[in-house]
Structure 1
Amino acid sequence: MASTTKVMTALVVLKHPEWLDRQITVKQEYRDYVTETGASTADLQTGDKLTVKQLLHAMLIPSGADAAMALADNFGSGNTTEARIADFENQMNTEAQQLGMTGTHFDSFDGISHGDNRSTARDLAKLGQRAMLQPVFADVVKNKQFKAEAPAANGHTRYYTWDNTNELLSTYDGALGIRTGSGAEAGHSLVFAAERDNRTLVGAIIEADKDRFDDATKMLD
């Protein structure tokens, strides 16, 4: 499912809405992870302080794995980064079980698998449906572009601009989001939603070629 994994990452974070304005400091570790894995990035700068809500934008719009790691590291429990991330992934799997996602297992907070990060189109559509019921999530994923500013390590203000990887927002009338994914093993995936005539549809495509946006358009029509 590649980066569509981040939909569940967001759902777990949003179980704690009281933390949306909490500031998280970007660690060099998050930048190093992106470099080492070749993951997509929001280009977060070490020492910057972003709120949880800003990190949700950074994760869900440009698909920032650095932002996903920051959230997993701060919403998991444990004495080390590895322990906190493992705990967070356990929370993701617990949530999947509660949603009845019987064909899903997470071993990753961002979709870069360690051998057992898997799902089905049906499960991802169910996940997308649940996520879109969260007003904060729905508000984030509809943005074609988002600008944020955050206190930088040097005392100045850092300005970020993130562009959405979801082409449907620009090409499909009524598109609402949700999240793209791509990887060497996973192919191209897409969890999508659109509304017309007061009717909202959520769908998912996995292991597709690059025509996933055309396929989603046909499915929605």
Structure 2
Amino acid sequence: MKKLLAVALLCFSALTGQSTQAQSLPAPTIAAKSWLLLDTTSNQVIASENPEMRIEPASLTKIMTAYLVFEALRDKKLAMDQMVNVSMAAWKVDSDSSKMFIDPKVPVSINDLLYGLIVQSGNDAAVALAEAVAGSSDAFAVLMNREVERMGLKGTHFANPHGLPSPQNYSTANDLSRIAQHLITEFPEYYKTFYSTKSFTYNKISQPNRNRLLWLDPTVDGMKTGHTEAAGFCLISSAKRPNGSGERRLISVVLGATSDQVRAQESLKLLNWGFLNFDTIKLYDKNQAIGTPEVWKGTQAQIKIGFTKDLYVTLPKGSAARIKPQLDRKDPLVAPIAANTQIGTMKMMIDGKSVAEFPVMALETVNQASIFGRAWDSIRLWMK
């Protein structure tokens, strides 16, 4: 039951494999089995408890379902106004579960199915969308797990598109936060359209969004609730608030709360704590040269080094002014060196302690020199 009471940097994508801790700052007590708070701007987990605990994701599964539908829309495999027939499998899905109440006699649009999936948490909508994308729920689950693998998520497996109980349907707070981050980052317009909608009416039945935070906090603009007897009450929430001259987004994941009210209350507590106690600062621009070290045996004498993405870090308030960068470089740098090759590590130091580490990359390619140039530099290196 390890609680991370510090900023733990979980770098992936261009920052794969680096992990450090910042100054300790006590996290709030959260009434849930597992929870996590992620800053999407810096890509840092601010705090968590039991983030790798395997849990039943319940209707949080539908975030991955929506993600795959959004991919299909982006790739022109589906269209929002496309009408699909409702299968008996979709209509008959667990009668005691959440539904949008689609009818086998009435075709329904992809647009309405997405509202039914996201706002009404309809399991029937999940099956209908899965069939539209892949032909069947089983085939869709294969696509879900391919996406899990592509995202590098080690603690997740999906058995169906809706999250109804199955031994093969499981995830973790950390993995769910990453799926949510991918959806928000890659499909911002779809996220804005569907996840902030407070109610939806279909088949003359109006149902409210189960995410209470949409009414309690105007900065919360999504995301998804989930509940089964085994999972308890779960909520992934996302909020965006001002940060200096820009904006900052946090994603909270609260799993295994005891009631709908508690999951909303604890999620809001976690979001408020993160926004009030931490700042996210930009350290370097994408492709900004932070140095031009010497290169040996190359067609040029120096190479530009830096980061392939804008570099942000999340720190406890008041500590940003004390941060000092420390570059640890692999010397000597010998050509050939390809662009985007890691050539060192930048450590962010506060009071002599490393609070974050980032890979420093070659921003350009340096080819190998002629045989005469290589020979001359070999002599120079020997004499150095």
Structure 2 length normalisation: TM-score?
0.51
Partner of 2:131: 73
SS of 1:107's equivalent in the other structure is: coil
Percent identity between the aligned chains? 28
Residue 201 in structure 1 maps to residue 201 in structure 2: no
Please identify which structure carries the higher helix content.
1
Q: CA deviation at 1:187?
A: 0.9
* Structure 1 residue 138, shift from structure 2 partner: 3.1
Q: Contact conserved, 2:214 with 2:221, CA < 8 A, in 1?
A: yes
- 1:99-114 paired onto structure 2 within 5 Å: 99-114=151-166
The alpha-carbon deviation at position 173 of structure 1 amounts to 2.6
CA distance in 2, matches of 1:43, 1:165: 17
Q: Which residue of 1 aligns with 2:148?
A: 96
Cα distance in structure 2, aligned partners of 1:183 and 1:85: 20
Query: Equivalent residues in 2 for 1:133-212 (5 A)?
Result: 133=185, 134=187, 135-147=189-201, 158-197=203-242, 198-210=247-259, 211-212=262-263
Q: Which position in structure 2 is the counterpart of 1:81?
A: none
CA-CA distance at 1:42 after TM superposition: 0.9
Q: Report the count of equivalent residues.
A: 204
Deviations 1:53-81 (A, max 9, x none): 2101101101000100101122114xxxx
1:3 to 59, 63, 68: 59
The structure, 1 or 2, with the larger RCO (C-alpha pairs under 8 Å, 6+ apart) is: 1
The Cα of 1:126 is off from its aligned counterpart by: 0.8
Q: Equivalent residue for 1:59?
A: 117
SS in 2 for 1:188: strand
Q: State the match for 1:151 in structure 2.
A: none
CA separation of 1:190 and 1:95: change in aligned 2, threshold 3 A = same
Measure the CA separation in 2 of the matches of 1:114 and 1:73.
19
CA RMSD, Structure 1 to Structure 2 (Å): 1.5
- 1:44 to partner: Cα distance: 1.6
Letter of the 1:24 partner, please give it.
V
CA distance in 1, matches of 2:204, 2:62: 23
Relative to its length, the structure with more strand (as a share) is: 2
Deviations 1:100-133 (A, max 9, x none): 2211110121001221211111111111111112
AA aligned opposite 1:132: I
Does the residue aligned with 1:180 lie in a helix, a strand or coil?
strand
Cα distance in 1 for residues equivalent to 2:191 and 2:204 = 22
Which structure 2 residue ranges, 5 or more long, are not aligned?
1-56, 273-384
TM-score when normalising by structure 1? 0.87
Runs of at least 5 residues in structure 1 that lack an aligned partner in the other structure = 78-83, 149-157
Alpha-carbon distance, 1:5 to partner: 0.1
SS at match of 1:7: helix
Q: Distance in 2 between matches of 1:73 and 1:168?
A: 31
**Range that drifts further, 163-172 or 22-31:** 22-31
Asked if 2 retains the 8 angstrom alpha-carbon contact of 1:59 and 1:68, the reply is yes
Q: Which has the larger radius of gyration?
A: 2
Render the CA deviation track for 1:145-177: whole Å, top value 9, x for unaligned: 1345xxxxxxxxx54533211111001231111
Q: Is the 8 A contact 1:13 1:71 kept in 2?
A: yes
